[in-house]
Amino acid sequence: MTVLVTGGAGYIGSHTVALLRQRGRDVVIYDSLELGRPEATLGAPLVVGDIADAELVKATVAEHGVDAVIHFAAYKAAGESMEQPGRYFANNVAKTNTFLDAAREVGVPRIVFSSSCSVYGTPTCLPVDETHPLAPESPYAESKRMVEDMLRWYSVAHDLRSVSLRYFNAAGAAASGLIGEDWTVTLNLVPLVMKAALGRVPQLTVFGTDYPTRDGTGVRDYVHVDDLADAHVRALEYLEAGGETTAVNLGTGVGSTVREVLDCAREVSGVDIPSLDAPRRPGDPAEVYGDNRRAHELLGWRADRNLSTIMASAWQWHSTHPDGYDAAT
Return the active site residues. 140
Helix (H, G, I), strand (E, B) or coil at 179: coil
Nearest to 112 by CA among 128, 100, 124: 100
* Beta carbons of 51 and 99 less than 8 angstroms apart: yes
The backbone torsions φ and ψ at residue 308, rounded to the nearest 5 degrees and listed phi first, read: -60, -40
Q: How far apart are CA 118 and CA 114, in angstroms?
A: 12
| 315 alpha carbon, distance to own chain's centre | 19
Q: Is the peptide bond before 274 cis (omega within 30 degrees of 0)?
A: no
Distance CA 50, CA 133 (A): 33
User: Is 36 buried (19+), middle (13-18) or exposed (0-12) by CB count in 10 A?
Assistant: buried
Helices of type H across 242-303: 258-269, 293-299
Residues 6 or more apart whose Cβ sits within 8 Å of residue 133: 120, 124
Q: Which of 175, 208, 205 is nearest to 187 (CA)?
A: 205
Cβ neighbors of 35 (< 8 A, separation 6 or more) are: 10, 75, 185
